[in-house]
Amino acid sequence: MSTPGPGGPERGRTFAPDFLTELFRNPLEPGYADAAARRQRTGPATGWRAVVPRTATVITLVVVGFLLVIAYRQTLAEAPSRSQARAGLVGQIKQRESLTDQLQQRADGLRVEVARQRDAALTDTDAARLRDLEASTGLARVRGDGVVVRVGDAPAQVDSVTGEAQANDLGRVLDRDLQDIANGLWSAGAEAIAINGQRLTATTTIRAAGRAILVDFRPVTGPYEVTAIGPEQMERRFKDSAAAKLMRQLVAEHGMSFGVRAVDDITLAAAGQPQLRYARPSPPPAPTPSGPGPSTSPSSSPDAGPSSSPPGGGR
């Protein structure tokens, strides 16, 4: 394409070729062509011009090899110390876990002895009521029919280039997933819940520490089993809950495993003793009004709990 210049003949309009076009048209680097032309003019390098580049190359290779040998020897020298440190940490962890298990067994035995002494000191009615309260708060072992919700991480993905297995973070079970499952079971009518054997109470926390999940500050590993005791309709209600729908969506999109099944005659262990920091005494029962008619005071019934009003009246 050409355009007439002002007051002069037409001049050709040039277009600069793009990079890809120039690369395919002239694949050889221009520097190679210049070097070949210079070599034809001056001939091959002789004397110091040929010796110096070769000597510099040899010296560079020797220095690089020497540095690699030093780095390799230092790595080998530090490997035993790292292995010893890791073995020491693993040994300490196992020792502390064994000590924790022993203390837990001792605490369980003392708890059974305290419960026996307490039941001997209380009346049958008070002892039965206290056992019911312990079962509902998670401080006593319970037994009954229920459901088991099993959820697990998606299988590792294999890299198509290296062939190594890589963790699928999008298909990993998170602490909030277990929270949603537990809340869905509570909403479905569960009376007691445990995650991998760890009983849930009103003070239980489900949180993450790095890639680990802690239930009441004790680590649990997958696949995770959330066991719940409750009525027969609990399984159907939970399957229709938002938590179950979300888990089924994660299964379809990211390959996680999720299943719900009914189980007969399961036993959930008691939770650890809670660390309560605040306590408030119950108010004294209100006096029963005199008169021929029946009393309407809530505290007059033996099954009624303590009044919710604080001492001294008021709101």
Under a CB-based contact definition with an 8 Å cutoff, are residues 193 and 266 in contact?
no
CATH number of this structure's domain 144-158+165-268: 3.30.70.1880
Domain ranges of the chain: 144-158+165-268
Mean pLDDT per block of 10 residues along the chain (315 residues) reads 49 59 74 77 69 83 90 79 81 87 84 82 83 81 92 80 68 92 94 92 88 88 92 93 93 92 90 74 69 40 35 35
DSSP symbols for 70-124 = HHHHHHHHHHHHHHHHHHHHHHHHHHHHHHHHHHHHHHHHHHHHHHHHHHHHS-H
Residue with tokens 């005199």: 290
Task: For 3, list phi and psi in degrees, rounded to 5.
Answer: -130, 140
Name the nearest CA neighbour of 194 among 117, 125, 116, 141.
Answer: 141
pLDDT at 93: 86
Q: What is the pTM of this model?
A: 0.56
pLDDT at 217: 85
DSSP for residue 300: G
> Looking at the chain, how many residues does it have?
315
pLDDT at 136: 80
